[in-house]
Amino acid sequence: MRRPAPQTLDDIRHPGPQAQDRLPHAFCHATKIEFRVLAGEPLLEALGRRADDAGFSSAVLNLSGVNLAAFDYVMPDRAIDDRHAAWYSDTHSSKGTQLEEAVAILGWRDGTWFAHVHAYWQENDAWHLGHLLPETLTISDDANISGHGLVGARFEASLDLETEFTLFRVKSDRNAMSGKTANALITTLAPFTDLHEGIAKLGNQLPGSGYSVLGLGSLAGAQFEDGPPMTGLISEILLQNGAGSPKNGKLSLPLRTVDLNKDLFQGRAKPGKCPTLVTNELLLVSKD
Protein backbone atom coordinates (compact mmCIF):
# COMPACT_ATOMS: atom_id res chain seq x y z
CA MET A 1 0.00 0.00 0.00
CA ARG A 2 1.45 3.35 -1.04
CA ARG A 3 0.91 6.54 0.89
CA PRO A 4 -1.27 9.30 -0.54
CA ALA A 5 0.47 11.72 -2.86
CA PRO A 6 1.61 14.97 -1.22
CA GLN A 7 -0.54 17.98 -2.08
CA THR A 8 1.73 20.74 -0.75
CA LEU A 9 5.42 21.10 0.08
CA ASP A 10 4.48 20.91 3.77
CA ASP A 11 3.24 17.36 3.13
CA ILE A 12 6.78 16.32 2.11
CA ARG A 13 8.69 15.35 5.23
CA HIS A 14 11.99 13.53 5.11
CA PRO A 15 12.60 11.21 8.06
CA GLY A 16 16.08 12.24 9.24
CA PRO A 17 17.78 15.34 10.64
CA GLN A 18 18.22 18.14 8.14
CA ALA A 19 21.77 18.37 6.80
CA GLN A 20 23.39 21.70 7.60
CA ASP A 21 25.03 22.04 4.18
CA ARG A 22 22.29 22.53 1.59
CA LEU A 23 24.75 23.00 -1.29
CA PRO A 24 27.40 20.32 -0.71
CA HIS A 25 30.02 20.53 -3.45
CA ALA A 26 33.62 19.80 -4.35
CA PHE A 27 35.90 21.42 -6.92
CA CYS A 28 37.57 19.23 -9.52
CA HIS A 29 39.09 19.18 -13.00
CA ALA A 30 36.80 18.13 -15.83
CA THR A 31 38.11 16.87 -19.18
CA LYS A 32 35.96 16.54 -22.28
CA ILE A 33 35.92 12.94 -23.44
CA GLU A 34 34.48 10.85 -26.25
CA PHE A 35 34.81 7.12 -26.72
CA ARG A 36 33.19 4.26 -28.59
CA VAL A 37 31.19 1.43 -27.04
CA LEU A 38 30.51 -1.75 -28.94
CA ALA A 39 27.38 -3.78 -29.48
CA GLY A 40 26.99 -6.44 -26.81
CA GLU A 41 28.93 -4.56 -24.14
CA PRO A 42 27.23 -4.20 -20.73
CA LEU A 43 27.00 -0.42 -20.38
CA LEU A 44 28.13 -0.12 -16.76
CA GLU A 45 31.13 -2.36 -17.37
CA ALA A 46 32.08 -0.41 -20.50
CA LEU A 47 31.85 2.98 -18.78
CA GLY A 48 33.81 1.86 -15.74
CA ARG A 49 36.58 0.26 -17.80
CA ARG A 50 37.07 3.41 -19.87
CA ALA A 51 37.09 5.59 -16.75
CA ASP A 52 39.71 3.31 -15.19
CA ASP A 53 41.86 3.42 -18.31
CA ALA A 54 41.80 7.23 -18.32
CA GLY A 55 42.37 7.59 -14.57
CA PHE A 56 39.05 9.32 -13.86
CA SER A 57 37.39 9.15 -10.45
CA SER A 58 33.91 9.88 -11.85
CA ALA A 59 32.27 11.00 -15.07
CA VAL A 60 29.10 12.67 -16.29
CA LEU A 61 28.08 11.33 -19.68
CA ASN A 62 25.61 12.05 -22.46
CA LEU A 63 23.96 8.82 -23.62
CA SER A 64 21.65 10.48 -26.15
CA GLY A 65 21.40 8.38 -29.31
CA VAL A 66 22.64 5.18 -27.68
CA ASN A 67 20.74 2.01 -28.65
CA LEU A 68 20.01 -0.40 -25.82
CA ALA A 69 18.89 -4.01 -25.78
CA ALA A 70 16.02 -4.96 -23.45
CA PHE A 71 16.34 -3.25 -20.07
CA ASP A 72 14.45 -2.48 -16.86
CA TYR A 73 13.52 0.88 -15.42
CA VAL A 74 11.48 2.54 -12.68
CA MET A 75 9.59 5.81 -12.39
CA PRO A 76 8.81 8.18 -9.49
CA ASP A 77 5.99 7.14 -7.19
CA ARG A 78 4.54 7.55 -3.73
CA ALA A 79 6.24 6.17 -0.64
CA ILE A 80 5.66 2.55 0.33
CA ASP A 81 6.28 3.15 4.05
CA ASP A 82 5.74 5.80 6.73
CA ARG A 83 9.29 7.16 6.60
CA HIS A 84 10.40 8.01 3.09
CA ALA A 85 8.96 11.05 1.31
CA ALA A 86 8.76 9.21 -2.03
CA TRP A 87 9.72 5.94 -3.67
CA TYR A 88 10.05 4.21 -7.01
CA SER A 89 7.33 2.56 -9.07
CA ASP A 90 7.24 -1.15 -9.66
CA THR A 91 9.84 -2.25 -12.20
CA HIS A 92 8.95 -1.78 -15.86
CA SER A 93 10.64 -3.49 -18.81
CA SER A 94 11.57 -2.19 -22.24
CA LYS A 95 12.13 -4.41 -25.25
CA GLY A 96 15.02 -2.16 -26.27
CA THR A 97 15.14 1.27 -27.84
CA GLN A 98 17.24 4.24 -28.89
CA LEU A 99 17.59 6.84 -26.14
CA GLU A 100 16.44 10.23 -27.39
CA GLU A 101 18.07 12.02 -24.43
CA ALA A 102 19.91 10.52 -21.49
CA VAL A 103 22.37 11.46 -18.75
CA ALA A 104 24.56 9.08 -16.74
CA ILE A 105 26.36 9.96 -13.51
CA LEU A 106 29.23 7.49 -13.13
CA GLY A 107 30.48 7.03 -9.59
CA TRP A 108 31.12 4.45 -6.90
CA ARG A 109 28.97 2.16 -4.76
CA ASP A 110 30.29 -0.54 -2.43
CA GLY A 111 33.77 -0.21 -3.88
CA THR A 112 32.83 -0.68 -7.51
CA TRP A 113 31.58 1.44 -10.39
CA PHE A 114 27.92 2.39 -10.38
CA ALA A 115 25.81 4.63 -12.62
CA HIS A 116 22.72 6.74 -12.05
CA VAL A 117 20.91 7.03 -15.39
CA HIS A 118 17.84 9.03 -16.39
CA ALA A 119 16.61 8.75 -19.97
CA TYR A 120 13.87 9.88 -22.35
CA TRP A 121 12.82 7.59 -25.19
CA GLN A 122 9.95 6.55 -27.45
CA GLU A 123 8.48 3.06 -27.41
CA ASN A 124 5.13 1.61 -28.41
CA ASP A 125 4.08 4.98 -29.89
CA ALA A 126 4.55 6.72 -26.53
CA TRP A 127 7.28 8.79 -24.90
CA HIS A 128 8.80 7.69 -21.61
CA LEU A 129 11.13 9.18 -19.02
CA GLY A 130 12.56 6.91 -16.37
CA HIS A 131 15.38 5.84 -14.07
CA LEU A 132 17.20 3.03 -15.88
CA LEU A 133 18.53 0.15 -13.76
CA PRO A 134 22.23 0.13 -14.70
CA GLU A 135 22.89 -3.57 -14.22
CA THR A 136 20.28 -4.33 -16.93
CA LEU A 137 21.74 -2.08 -19.65
CA THR A 138 23.49 -3.59 -22.69
CA ILE A 139 24.56 -1.76 -25.84
CA SER A 140 22.75 -3.12 -28.92
CA ASP A 141 24.63 -1.11 -31.60
CA ASP A 142 28.06 0.49 -31.68
CA ALA A 143 27.83 4.07 -30.38
CA ASN A 144 29.92 7.11 -29.49
CA ILE A 145 29.51 8.48 -25.98
CA SER A 146 30.68 11.93 -24.92
CA GLY A 147 30.85 13.81 -21.65
CA HIS A 148 33.33 14.85 -18.98
CA GLY A 149 35.79 12.77 -16.99
CA LEU A 150 36.61 14.04 -13.50
CA VAL A 151 39.65 14.06 -11.23
CA GLY A 152 39.84 15.68 -7.81
CA ALA A 153 36.30 14.77 -6.77
CA ARG A 154 33.90 11.87 -7.25
CA PHE A 155 30.35 10.74 -6.69
CA GLU A 156 30.18 7.97 -4.09
CA ALA A 157 27.00 6.29 -2.85
CA SER A 158 26.29 6.28 0.86
CA LEU A 159 23.30 6.50 3.20
CA ASP A 160 21.93 10.03 3.38
CA LEU A 161 20.63 10.52 6.91
CA GLU A 162 18.12 13.21 6.00
CA THR A 163 16.24 11.26 3.34
CA GLU A 164 17.23 7.70 4.37
CA PHE A 165 18.05 6.94 0.74
CA THR A 166 21.38 5.60 -0.45
CA LEU A 167 22.46 8.44 -2.74
CA PHE A 168 25.51 9.67 -4.56
CA ARG A 169 27.36 12.03 -2.21
CA VAL A 170 30.22 14.38 -3.10
CA LYS A 171 33.72 13.26 -2.11
CA SER A 172 36.77 15.49 -2.58
CA ASP A 173 40.31 14.35 -3.38
CA ARG A 174 42.15 17.48 -4.47
CA ASN A 175 45.51 15.68 -4.18
CA ALA A 176 44.51 13.54 -7.17
CA MET A 177 44.47 16.56 -9.48
CA SER A 178 48.27 16.39 -9.88
CA GLY A 179 48.74 20.06 -10.55
CA LYS A 180 45.62 20.50 -12.69
CA THR A 181 43.55 23.58 -11.96
CA ALA A 182 39.94 23.34 -10.83
CA ASN A 183 37.65 24.20 -13.72
CA ALA A 184 34.51 22.48 -12.45
CA LEU A 185 32.57 21.38 -9.40
CA ILE A 186 30.14 18.60 -8.56
CA THR A 187 27.23 18.98 -6.20
CA THR A 188 24.29 17.06 -4.70
CA LEU A 189 21.60 19.57 -3.81
CA ALA A 190 19.74 18.99 -0.54
CA PRO A 191 15.94 18.64 -0.35
CA PHE A 192 13.91 21.80 -1.03
CA THR A 193 16.98 23.64 -2.39
CA ASP A 194 15.83 25.46 -5.49
CA LEU A 195 17.45 24.03 -8.61
CA HIS A 196 17.96 27.36 -10.38
CA GLU A 197 19.01 29.38 -7.35
CA GLY A 198 21.34 26.66 -6.06
CA ILE A 199 23.13 26.34 -9.40
CA ALA A 200 23.44 30.13 -9.71
CA LYS A 201 25.13 30.38 -6.30
CA LEU A 202 27.58 27.60 -7.09
CA GLY A 203 28.30 28.84 -10.59
CA ASN A 204 29.50 32.14 -9.18
CA GLN A 205 32.37 30.24 -7.52
CA LEU A 206 33.78 28.90 -10.80
CA PRO A 207 36.52 30.66 -12.75
CA GLY A 208 35.53 32.48 -15.91
CA SER A 209 32.25 34.13 -16.75
CA GLY A 210 30.24 31.19 -18.10
CA TYR A 211 29.62 27.55 -17.33
CA SER A 212 27.64 24.54 -18.51
CA VAL A 213 25.51 22.32 -16.29
CA LEU A 214 24.93 18.58 -16.68
CA GLY A 215 22.99 16.25 -14.44
CA LEU A 216 19.79 14.73 -13.17
CA GLY A 217 17.69 14.46 -10.05
CA SER A 218 14.20 15.08 -8.69
CA LEU A 219 11.89 18.03 -8.08
CA ALA A 220 8.90 18.66 -5.80
CA GLY A 221 6.86 20.36 -8.49
CA ALA A 222 8.18 22.86 -11.02
CA GLN A 223 7.27 26.01 -12.88
CA PHE A 224 8.78 26.81 -16.26
CA GLU A 225 9.50 30.01 -18.12
CA ASP A 226 8.13 28.57 -21.34
CA GLY A 227 5.65 25.83 -20.52
CA PRO A 228 2.83 24.66 -18.23
CA PRO A 229 3.76 23.89 -14.60
CA MET A 230 4.25 20.45 -13.13
CA THR A 231 1.98 20.29 -10.09
CA GLY A 232 2.82 16.72 -9.10
CA LEU A 233 5.26 16.89 -6.19
CA ILE A 234 7.15 13.64 -6.86
CA SER A 235 9.21 13.58 -10.05
CA GLU A 236 12.47 12.76 -11.76
CA ILE A 237 14.33 15.04 -14.15
CA LEU A 238 17.19 15.24 -16.60
CA LEU A 239 18.86 18.43 -17.76
CA GLN A 240 18.99 18.96 -21.51
CA ASN A 241 21.87 20.04 -23.74
CA GLY A 242 22.49 23.77 -23.48
CA ALA A 243 21.87 24.06 -19.76
CA GLY A 244 24.14 26.65 -18.20
CA SER A 245 25.13 30.28 -18.14
CA PRO A 246 26.74 31.85 -21.21
CA LYS A 247 29.41 34.47 -20.69
CA ASN A 248 27.79 37.43 -18.96
CA GLY A 249 24.42 35.88 -19.67
CA LYS A 250 21.38 34.56 -17.85
CA LEU A 251 21.36 31.04 -16.41
CA SER A 252 19.09 28.80 -18.48
CA LEU A 253 18.10 25.32 -17.33
CA PRO A 254 16.11 23.44 -19.98
CA LEU A 255 14.96 20.12 -18.56
CA ARG A 256 12.60 17.21 -18.98
CA THR A 257 10.68 15.70 -16.12
CA VAL A 258 8.08 13.02 -15.36
CA ASP A 259 5.81 13.12 -12.32
CA LEU A 260 4.20 10.38 -10.25
CA ASN A 261 1.21 10.33 -12.62
CA LYS A 262 3.54 9.56 -15.57
CA ASP A 263 2.85 12.99 -17.04
CA LEU A 264 5.76 14.51 -18.97
CA PHE A 265 6.85 18.15 -18.84
CA GLN A 266 9.55 20.19 -20.53
CA GLY A 267 10.79 23.76 -20.19
CA ARG A 268 13.32 26.15 -18.72
CA ALA A 269 13.28 26.11 -14.92
CA LYS A 270 11.84 29.27 -13.37
CA PRO A 271 14.04 30.71 -10.57
CA GLY A 272 12.65 30.01 -7.10
CA LYS A 273 10.00 27.62 -8.42
CA CYS A 274 11.83 24.29 -8.76
CA PRO A 275 12.49 22.85 -5.27
CA THR A 276 14.58 19.68 -5.02
CA LEU A 277 12.63 16.65 -3.81
CA VAL A 278 15.41 14.25 -2.75
CA THR A 279 18.57 15.47 -4.50
CA ASN A 280 19.98 16.76 -7.77
CA GLU A 281 23.37 15.42 -8.89
CA LEU A 282 25.11 18.00 -11.03
CA LEU A 283 28.36 18.92 -12.75
CA LEU A 284 29.14 22.58 -13.42
CA VAL A 285 32.01 23.16 -15.88
CA SER A 286 33.62 26.51 -16.64
CA LYS A 287 33.47 27.46 -20.33
CA ASP A 288 36.80 29.35 -20.13
Residues sharing a CB contact under 8 Å with residue 95, sequence separation 6 or more, in sequence order: 70, 123
Residues in the chain: 288
Residues sharing a CB contact under 8 Å with residue 18, sequence separation 6 or more, in sequence order: 162, 190
Give pLDDT, residue 174: 81
Distance (Å) of CA 74 to CA 99, 108, 159, 231? 15, 21, 20, 20
Burial class (CB in 10 A: 0-12, 13-18, 19+), 8: exposed
Q: How many CB atoms lie within 10 A of CB 17?
A: 8
Per residue in 176-209, pLDDT tens?
888 889 999 999 999 999 999 999 999 999 998 8
- Paired with 114 in beta bridges are 107
Give pLDDT, residue 99: 98
Per residue in 29-67, pLDDT tens?
999 999 999 999 999 999 999 999 999 999 999 999 999
What's this model's pTM, rounded to 2 decimal places?
0.97
Give pLDDT, residue 29: 97
In the chain, the domains with their CATH numbers are 9-286 (3.30.1330.80)
- Averaged pLDDT of the chain: 96
